[in-house]
Structure 1
Amino acid sequence: MIVTAIMFIVGLALLVKGADLFVGGGSGLALRHRISPALIGSTIIAFGTSLPELVVSTNAAATGNTGIALGNVIGSNIANIALILALCTLIRPDMVAMSGASRSSLVRNTVLMLVATVAFALLAARGTLDALAGALLLILFVVILYLLIREGREEGDVDIKSHGWTDILYIGLGLAAVIIGAQLVVDGAVTLAEAFGIPAFVIGVSIVAVGTSLPELATSLVAAVRDEGAISIGNILGSNIFNLLLVLGVSLLLAPVTVGSLVDIAVVVLFSIAILPLLFARPSVVRGWSALLLLGYAAYIAWSFGAGPIR
């Protein structure tokens, strides 16, 4: 068990560092080819921070561990809002106001995230997420990606630098680290779940989800301290869209997933709606709401482990 735990932690570290290298290399390479920094921020950076979720979930689905695949997506989206963004706005309740992001941009991206969440919930309400659901999610992803790209051409700059031809090396090393790390994380999660009698979904929605959300956590905390929240907020909204539509969509093409409890689906919808006060309320309200979301997240994780045996 000690070896399993060590390999799990090593896998998480590789996921985080690999995603960081991929984002840096991909952004720099795109910049060298005269792609606008704003477009890079709304697509490559958002995809890069969702890369751990993509590789972990598709790896899990391909090996038959569909509970981890679904739990990772749901848990990552909940953690992005109720843990990461809530923690940042608890520390800096004026982060959104100081970010410089236009209200229209926030509204547009928030609506797109909510549309993705509702689409996922409606498909999950059928009790089974199959290849048809995956195809529908991917079609919606293409539509939303187009809207994000169109918006990215209209937004301001992102602080990105090119590293020359080293960018290609960064991309290669990043992808290799993420793939190896994902394998270690999935194997470790399955072993831990079996050893402690915990359903794979619970491991996926908690430990694996938080681990694959570490890139978003690091980015957002730094942004909160440096008063550079615009990229971080957009990244969290974009990451949730990528997770539900791209990550889950691809995973469902590999293997169908049985939805064990509609409670989890309702929770991800409620937490997604709960992002609204964090983005649009007065700073005096934001801090209290952030604390409530953090408590709600802790309660959900505790409930997940307690309800695990009946899933």
Structure 2
Amino acid sequence: MNWAGVSIVEVAVILLTTGAIYVGSGWLEGASEDLSTYYGLPMVVQGAVVTAVGSSFPELASVVFAAIVTGSIELGVGAIVGSAIFNVLVIPAVSTLATDEPIEANRTLVYKEAQFYMLAVSTLVITFALAVIYYPDPSAAGDLEGLVTRPLALIPIGLYGLYLFIQAQDTGDFDADRGGRGGIDVRRQWAFLAAGLVVILVAVERLVHAVDLIGAALGVPEFIMGVTVIAGATSLPDALVSVRAARDERGVASLANVLGSNTFDLLVAIPIGVLIVGAASIDFAMAVPMFAVLTGATVLLFTVLRTDLSLTDLEAYALLAAYAAFVLWMILESAGVVAGVLPTG
């Protein structure tokens, strides 16, 4: 690797934007907690909707930017799936190791949030399959490429509408303790929430740009940078928010943020890119292996969460080992050391 080609400016940008993301995520997490208390939202709804949608802005922005500039969402889809794998394996593990006690889950998280997230993964795969069957891409060289049209994009968006309806019903059934809302300045917290989103959005865009330049200078393949470094960079707000929640002994909100963020990315961020460009070509042969890895990672997380409804340090190390194996596999396939199973381009 040619480290001489790496500019000190890009390194400085990474350090500065990481600090900015840390500050912005702090504003976002604090404001979402206070607003959820003010409006009487359950902790699961706070993590899965309020905080998750906010911390998913980097992934949403990456899809929108790719759609507007290149007219394609393929890069955005890859980045989101790579980010989702990072979210379910790395963030819960790091959050657990950052605390003195195991992160506590509950049955609502495991049996509602987790299962709905698996439904989200399945729905997006079915949407891509319908594109291949009914709208084959006439300009594609392969037989497994189809056009995801705007009507098809409404299928996952409609499912997210159902998700919000379920969360609204749970909020209505929740007996909130509103004793602490009197000391909350709701306008100030909405301002902090908006400021946190802006800081995160700008900082992550600069961070991803700097990482991309360093990858090009070092000769690292774009695919490896996309599913590892860039995916981790866009997931940094989620990681910081989840770690803070875990340290405040709000394990349910910490884990719900991960699942809610991935649900939003899959059901909303990707379809919005399709709605912008009108129709987007999807290579089903590329998408299915990546979704298979995501499904396996998600099943592993659900399994360790269901044991005693908590996540221990040993289970956290198992999740990190699984992610390390995924990254190693990507590197070996990119280098041609092992036979190609996952896409490398």
Q: Same-fold call, TM > 0.5?
A: yes
> 1:71 aligned to 2:78?
yes
**Do the aligned partners of 2:58 and 2:205 also contact (CA within 8 Å) in 1?**
no
Letter in 1 for 2:324: A
Q: Residue 273 of structure 2 aligns with which residue?
A: 251
**Do the aligned partners of 2:29 and 2:241 also contact (CA within 8 Å) in 1?**
no
Matches within 5 A, 1:1-311: 1-2=6-7, 3-25=9-31, 28=34, 35-38=39-42, 39-64=45-70, 66-89=73-96, 95-96=102-103, 98-99=104-105, 101=106, 103-124=107-128, 126=132, 127-128=145-146, 130-132=148-150, 133-155=152-174, 162-255=184-277, 256=280, 258-259=282-283, 260=286, 262-282=288-308, 287-308=313-334, 310-311=344-345
SS at match of 1:37: coil
**Do the aligned partners of 2:26 and 2:241 also contact (CA within 8 Å) in 1?**
no
Query: Higher mean Cα deviation, 238-247 or 64-73?
Result: 64-73
What is the rounded CA distance, in whole Å, between the counterparts of 2:189 and 2:56 in structure 1?
A: 19
Relative distance call for 1:60 and 1:17 in structure 2 (3 A) is farther
Gap regions ≥5 residues in structure 1: none
Relative distance call for 1:41 and 1:155 in structure 2 (3 A) is farther
Provide Cα deviations, 1:111-135, integer angstroms capped at 9, x if missing partner.
Answer: 1111001112333454456344433
Letter in 1 for 2:251: G
Quote the sequence identity (%).
22
Letter in 2 for 1:271: A
* 1:13 to partner: Cα distance: 4.0
Q: TM-score, normalised by structure 2?
A: 0.74
Letter in 2 for 1:291: Y
RMSD of equivalent CA atoms: 3.4
* 1:244 to partner: Cα distance: 1.0
What is the rounded CA distance, in whole Å, between the counterparts of 2:309 and 2:166 in structure 1?
A: 29
Provide Cα deviations, 1:115-161, integer angstroms capped at 9, x if missing partner.
Answer: 00111233345445634443322121111121122223334659987
Letter in 2 for 1:254: I
Q: TM-score, normalised by structure 1?
A: 0.81
* 1:61 to partner: Cα distance: 3.3
What is the rounded CA distance, in whole Å, between the counterparts of 2:157 and 2:256 in structure 1?
A: 20
* 1:293 to partner: Cα distance: 2.3
Q: Higher Cα Rg: structure 1 or 2?
A: 2
* 1:92 to partner: Cα distance: 6.7
**Do the aligned partners of 2:102 and 2:310 also contact (CA within 8 Å) in 1?**
no
**Do the aligned partners of 2:204 and 2:234 also contact (CA within 8 Å) in 1?**
no
Query: Higher mean Cα deviation, 283-292 or 246-255?
Result: 283-292
* 1:229 to partner: Cα distance: 0.8
